Structure 1
């Protein structure tokens, strides 16, 4: 190297260092100003930035910082600060976008935590003003009493926000009836990057003149938009596809005279590249009073699509398509099992829903459609439903599409990219045939997919494709496919996006669809609103004469250069992720179901998010931090791997409830990831005191029992100063500790003298978990009563054994494995003989059924046998005890009950067997949609968790108990659930285990 070139290299390096220093200085100044001037939370820390580094797309860009304003005026002030400092910004709703709109190297404004109010409802004119962070389901819940709702409903309706829907021009299945967001909007309160703020409305000529003749920036915007419309109206009409699902590009067509110079309609779908939406006035529609669903089965999905035009003539409320590949994916993942059994014959299905004033009317519309199809010779196999519960079950087959096609066992991972095209409905069948040929041409087709499904009534097609996004060759093939797919869609007169927007996936492809002239108009619009390209820069379009938008193969979350750290050796096995923590950390697909604020359908996850509303406390946010911890790009915010304090902080409020293991569409298992992380994070160094206090609880309890110290310990704990001192010393919350039983279950068993003759059904082993054994032995005694009545010979191990749960939950995995191996060895003779192990505590039972094979490896036959022979109390009595039924609690009438189902039982064990037993015992039981109780083993006792623990309980559980009648039974199999109810329910209700309830009935029968 020459001296001159060496000097140039040093100069260039120096320039980069200076630029980096300037950027750091500017960001420090931004953080300072935002904290001074914005009413809200301002976070520039590595953990927060990592949590927002991607959305539900293939792309990743770490933001500069995150602002969560408490008011929309505070959001406006954040925009002003960004403009003063020349910083880019992007508005973010639920973060579920699939095209990369929600991630950028910018200041993120997240409206969801605070700006989520329904401001005003005008029932007469059917409109409502809302803030952008309000979740769609929550809005419709608040509107329920009016008989109105917001019409468009994407499948992410439990967690998508109105602001995000405006940004993407969202649709959903109901758009068949109501149209897109652009069709359901009155006005928008918006702000430009330069601070210009105005209310955008549809304007007639007089209204336009009144605005345009005023001075200032707002008048200039209106005049220039009017000029653009007048000069290029014919071009816009020519180049815009005349289909209901054209979402790609800017809505220049909304400016045309035939659409009334609709400024808010024009801004819809601009994906935060033009304005920040601060408020919105929405058009509402009447709630459909009655619905009837018909499911039509065809030989294949393309033939099903051929029938769509004939069905659309009957004006269904929704018309969706599902192919057999999607059905098979759901079967492999154990999703929607009952609904799948209800499908008619065929491999391509249409779900067609009709609405009416009553069921008779909706049924009539459905039958007329079926009759018409028969007359046209297009008679499919038909399944007919007008029961709302059945309809919901079938509908979940379609709504589960994204989650069902992600991380399918024994298949390559699939990705979005070409998940959103739309074509005219009369050409849909042929389009699907050609798309399938394209899959074959590029090597993406197999006998298992990809699946093709979507909003067929409007020609919109969804799919996830097994792109190889981890090699240079694979990324190059992905690019070629996308270009070819765009050409195919345009040849059919379609739109590159029919719902999800362009973002980064399709922004660079827009010239193929619209032509260079129209794309040049997009650039002019961008330059008019955002000349410096500071609003979601690089997405969709850049200002005129500037560089192209980001390419579809830039900023990939994976990519050919992605090289994550390989964190080995591991404690857990991760069999469903090819034994790779990297794959596990990459399992989240960003759909955001963990961000639900209401407990829809019994969803347990994610309790800490429901309590705090913070992204880092959602399963998705934590998964993003773990992904960034692996530092596959070398430029991430998390630099210190397993020792990361940011990751530890994000995981601190994870209750390890395992709700995500079942409720997450991608089956993220954050409880396992948390335990793995903590084991490595604290390896070779001291842990928090609470980990020792709660982790070693089984050993402490055993010592107290052996020394007969339970009464003395309980008395000491009842003395307030001693309790406070001991709690502080142990790193625990100042709350009453559970009382130790005077006699453990094991000791009661050893001393028992009234043992019956051996049962006729054989011998079962009742597992004496720590909580039943030392705190609630009466539950174990009740279980013995019932099991012996059912004809079983019961045995209880008397040696000191433990499943290791408390060490697992605190991440002390070496100790947990040691304890667990000892227990497996002790139980091996029993399970080798085919004997059952009956678990009473759901969390400990879950260890045998789920954690043990993952922690010890299921290659050990004794571990497998223990997994397969461990049953819940209810499972034993319903599935393995023929001829026995529990006596009724009250022979005269049904007994009312509510059930707090333990989150591990919800996620792993299931509650169907419990339901069957309760019905047979004459108990009318309502399962509370309460999620986790909030105590979650050691979580609620650990210092710093008390507020969140109680907030979780106050979501649903405690209010439901206060409203319940005094004589209502409260069922709670989990020790934590019973403890939380005992300590927090001011109404004095106590939770009871199912075994206690059934033992009461058995004893009552014996007395009578």
Structure 2
């Protein structure tokens, strides 16, 4: 099409009109779906300006997008999406003295705060999506977060904006004195026309604007026409904040920064219910905390069921069924603590007297705080209850009326029979978050949702509140604004829109429309309405998705945590490419569109879906870290199984997918095989034939397999039997880990057994999508182990990825089969070495002296991180006197077959270089490198001078 052709010719950036990109950007974090015309990822601000110019030439609508986490539908539309987050993310300048910064709109909040941290500064507002949201998106939505209690909304931090109108006016806007206003008019042109129209709109309606805007701290709904009032300095920048890309394109922003509180303390106060917690807010807020959050027992119950922050964090809650979390800051620990203590003392003996717990440990505070931040994700799929949705998730009322509003709102929920609904949020400013079990899949359910939203809007308006206290209007609330503001103010919104965008080309249909236009109804463009694809036959059972792949494909709610740039595991390939399609969210959206069949029309055969999944490392980080536990590794395996059904597969699927078979054959003559695969000339041919990247070194087979060594040696002792699982990698490449584990287990008093026949967990077949073979392999394994499993004999796994198969993949792959009971036994009886020793040999794993003198850094395997965590390893290392630093640097990048496959080498190495490999290289001399995963050890060995060891080897040194 000519628009695409002109964008490609004139814009310095990436222009995507393909089905995969359109599918990935068809959603945000709301209930809505609107596939865009195309996507532009500009390399610079100037390129974005040119993109808007090209769109104007073609009359195409435009929408700016940052993190894409909006909850009201403002980040999806039928236009050209400009994604700022990949390249336009500079901190242009920083003025420490005046505490100001100039930034480009695509910079992520956490990344910016990391840059500011050495200067003792930070951005005031901090939404719960702080690790993924961008400053441009925060300006678009007028974001707040918990810290708004102390620092206000984003509008309060904006000093100046450089903006671009659809018709091409590029200008800096901010507070406007009368002198500056007169100069603008004298200069003439379109800018003068805009300013004159804004001033006339204000002057003609000043009384209306002053009286119809709720005087509350969390009014986010509507355009900020009140910022144009004389007493507010005719501040055009702040009048454009929160306009959700419907008025202008933000190019740069000058923002105010704030000093970081040197010390913080958290007081958690328990009340009999959430309503009485709401009643106490005004008294608590008078002590000027940094944050004042509320949460109810429903959220806590869900967090406990889904283990959001760990059991220990929840044990820190005081008695009650509704809680306030109050954070104070100070220049000293004593100052922060004393402010909290004064608050508690003042509440004692009053009707607001709470049960109180103080958090002295910053790590404990952070774990407990995570429960509140995880609210949206944790409550999306409450166990045993219907799925929940946004749609009425952030209304705000005057804080002094919060308790009564919560009571009335609960009555309204009960009247509509919306069941178990959690209430939580930024209570200090009267903002209440919730996700409700709206039925958005059929017309009757949607009609009920509409009736509820209208009544909820009237309830909020009766309290003098705002329909949105944080997330904006978008499509969810745009048509309800007359209930809150009255028709006269909403007509002003239309006139204001007309000043900047008379033809309604800027994110049309959202927030407001120019005179004669219409906004989208709240029940249009609904994602789930009409999403009823045929349910395919699948290999995995998807137990958390009602045994439906279509539900799994639609599981993502768009929070975007997979787009974070540091910490945790998820999502390695996104961190390298910065591509939405390579985030867990992007891939999930593409899979959903594949099942829908509108944008992606060729189903399992789709090349767009294949390309999006190709760089998925199958690390399973998303299964553990995604707030709604999207499991892209499983979805990828499922897709590959269908994509290549009755078709030739990539060579790597035959070489590495069938590695257990080739390794067994190689064991007959390992030295000869090693010579062949490493010989100059032959080495290259072997890699080419196996689909292995030419830059990747092939690992060498061990001269003697672990199982052969054990067969010669035999079991020893008469202690309690345990099965040591001889996974392919330990058995054929790193038998020393198996031998060390035998020594440790026998020293602890156990009798070690190894299966007498070759068995496999099926991992390599699963990761390459050969699920039929994987199932056959697993059935054979389960039948062979069944007699021991039925006697309760534990299975000890040394390779985390293989143990993860037993604990998660196997039950989901063999569900409902005759062997399923034994599969469940295997899942429950499979332990890591650390878990088993701590549970069954706690007296043995205690260092005889205060320390061993061994310092180690440990790289947790991604599958372990996702399925059972590293806490047991951490505790065991401490018990045996090894001083260990556990890395939080993400994936190693090799990820089984991924880093070996042709075309993946660069991404594989780049992932490792994000954190793990530099951490290993920078380790002090003498530091031991601990990595249980064969992939992790291989990547480290091939990219650094280090020689990492398995936990079993380190324990053998200390304990035997």
Which band: TM-score by shorter chain?
over 0.9
The structure 1 residue matched to 2:907, chosen from 939, 944, 948, is 948
How far apart are residue 875 of structure 1 and its match? 1.2
> Pairwise mapping of residues 470-485 of structure 1 onto structure 2 (< 5 A)?
470-485=441-456
User: d(CA) in 2 for partners of 1:130 and 1:716?
Assistant: 56
Q: Is the 8 A contact 1:764 1:835 kept in 2?
A: yes
| Map 1:439-454 → 2, pairs under 5 A | 439-445=413-419, 449-454=420-425
Please provide the CA RMSD for this pair.
Answer: 1.2
Counterpart in 2 of 1:552? 522
**1:540 counterpart = 2:511:** yes
- TM-score scaled to structure 1, two decimals? 0.94
> Which among 651, 670, 676 is matched to residue 638 of structure 2?
676
Q: Distance in 2 between matches of 1:643 and 1:893?
A: 56
Instruction: Name the SS for the 1:143 alignment partner.
Output: helix
Q: How many angstroms apart in 2 are the aligned matches of 1:834 and 1:173?
A: 49
Cα distance in 2, alignment partners of residues 384 and 915 from structure 1: 26
Distance 2:317 2:186 in 1: 61
Structure 2 alignment gaps of length 5 or more: none
Find out whether 1:219 has 2:177 as its counterpart.
Answer: no
| SS of corresponding position for 1:320 | strand
After TM superposition, give the deviation of residue 393 of structure 1 in Å.
1.7
Instruction: State the partner residue of 2:731.
Output: 773
Deviation at 1:140, TM superposition (A): 0.4
Aligned match for 1:750, one of 711, 721, 728: 711
1:85-116 deviation per Cα after TM superposition (whole angstroms, max 9, x unaligned): 11001000100000000000110000011111
For 1:424 and 1:355, the matched residues in 2 are separated by 25
Residues 452 and 461 of structure 1 are in contact (CA less than 8 Å); yes or no, is this contact kept in structure 2? yes
* SS of the residue 2:352 aligns to: coil
Distance 1:115 1:756, change over 3 A: same
Please say if 1:395 is aligned against 2:366.
no
Tell me, yes or no, if the aligned pair for 1:858 and 1:864 is still in contact at 8 Å. Answer: no
Contact preservation (8 Å) 2:99, 2:258: yes
2:28 is the alignment partner of 1:74? no
Give me the whole-angstrom Cα distance separating, in 2, the residues matched to 1:944 and 1:650.
14
1:937 alignment partner, SS class: coil
The 5 A counterparts of 1:380-419 are 380-419=354-393
1: distance between equivalents of 2:375 and 2:847? 43
Quick one: distance in 1 between partners of 2:282 and 2:829? 54
CA distance in 1, matches of 2:583, 2:19: 17
Distance 1:773 1:177 in 2: 58
- Structure 2 CA distance, aligned partners of 1:112 and 1:720? 45
CA contact (8 A) 2:94 2:102 kept: yes
Equivalent residue for 1:821?
Answer: 779
Partner SS state of residue 28, structure 2:
coil
CA contact (8 A) 2:620 2:863 kept: yes
CA distance in 2, matches of 1:377, 1:495: 28
For residue 950 of structure 2, what is the aligned residue in structure 1?
Answer: 993
1:146 aligns with 2:119: yes
Instruction: Say yes or no: does 1:724 pair with 2:684.
Output: yes
Secondary structure at the counterpart of residue 768 of structure 1: coil
Corresponding residue for 2:570? 605
Are 1:302 and 1:348, in contact at CA under 8 Å, matched by a contact in 2?
yes
Q: How does 1:193-272 map to 2 (within 5 A)?
A: 193-272=166-245
In the alignment, the residues of structure 1 paired with residue 549 and residue 459 of structure 2 have an alpha-carbon distance, to the nearest angstrom, of 39
SS of residue paired to 2:425: coil
Counterpart for residue 579 of structure 1: 547
- Deviation (angstroms), 1:289: 1.1
1:40 equivalenced with 2:13 (yes/no): yes
Equivalent residues of 1:970, 1:991 under 8 A apart: yes
| Aligned-partner Cα distance in 2 for 1:201–1:220 | 17
* 1:197-242 deviations in Å (ceiling 9; x for gaps): 1011111111111112211111111111111111111100111000
Alignment of 1:758-907 (within 5 A): 758-759=718-719, 762-857=720-815, 860-885=820-845, 887=847, 894-907=853-866
Aligned to 1:422, what secondary structure does the other structure show?
coil
**Alignment partners' CA distance in 2, 1:460 and 1:213:** 44
- CA distance, structure 2, for counterparts of residue 452 and residue 118 of structure 1: 37
Question: 1: CA distance between counterparts of 2:272 and 2:347?
Answer: 15
Separation in structure 2 between the aligned mates of residue 779 and residue 765 of structure 1, nearest angstrom: 15
Moved more, 944-953 or 386-395: 386-395
Counterpart contact for 2:717–2:746, Cα < 8 Å? no
Question: Over residues 919-962 of structure 1, what are the superposed CA-to-partner deviations in whole Å (9 max), with x where a residue is unaligned?
Answer: 12211111111211110000000111001100110000011111
Q: Deviations over 1:566-597 (max 9, x none)?
A: 11x21001111111001111111100000001
In structure 1, stretches of 5+ residues that fail to align are 1-27, 1004-1008
Within the candidate set 543, 547, 561, 1:593 is matched to 561
Per-residue CA deviation, residues 886-923 of structure 1 (Å, 9 max, x unaligned), is 556x8765321111100001001221111122112211
Counterpart for residue 117 of structure 1: 90
Secondary structure at the aligned position of 1:108 is classed as strand
How far did 1:385 drift?
A: 2.1
Question: Is 2:288 the partner of 1:315?
Answer: yes
Q: Using the TM superposition, give the Cα deviation of residue 375 of structure 1 relative to its aligned residue in structure 2, in angstroms.
A: 4.3
- Tell me what 1:25 maps to: none
Structure 1 contact 656–670 (Cα < 8 Å) conserved: yes
Q: CA–CA distance in 1 between the matches of 2:824 and 2:219?
A: 53
C-alpha separation in 2, matches of 1:527 and 1:811? 54
Cα distance, 1:978 vs. partner? 0.3
Q: In the TM superposition, what is the alpha-carbon distance from 1:386 to its structure 2 partner? A: 3.4
Q: 2:332 aligns with which of 342, 358, 362?
A: 358
Query: SS at 2:424's partner residue?
Result: coil
Residues in 1 aligned to 2:718 and 2:941: alpha-carbon distance in whole angstroms: 37
Alpha-carbon offset, residue 277 of structure 1: 0.6
- 8 Å CA contact 1:117, 1:134 repeated in 2: yes
Instruction: For 2:157 and 2:693, locate their aligned partners in 1 and report how far apart those are by CA, in whole Å.
Output: 50
Aligned match of 1:293:
266
Aligned to 2:922: 963
Query: Do the aligned partners of 1:121 and 1:129 also contact (CA within 8 Å) in 2?
Result: yes
Name whichever of 695-704 and 377-386 sits farther off: 377-386
Matched, 1:645 2:607: yes
Provide the TM-score with structure 2 as the length reference.
0.98
Residue equivalent to 2:535: 566
Paired residues for 1:270-281 under 5 Å: 270-281=243-254
Which whole-Å CA distance do the structure 1 matches of 2:217 and 2:230 have between them? 19
In 2, are the aligned partners of 1:424 and 1:493 still within 8 Å (CA)? yes
Once the 2 structures are TM-superposed, how far is the Cα of residue 387 of structure 1 from its aligned partner? 2.7
The alignment covers a number of residue pairs equal to: 956
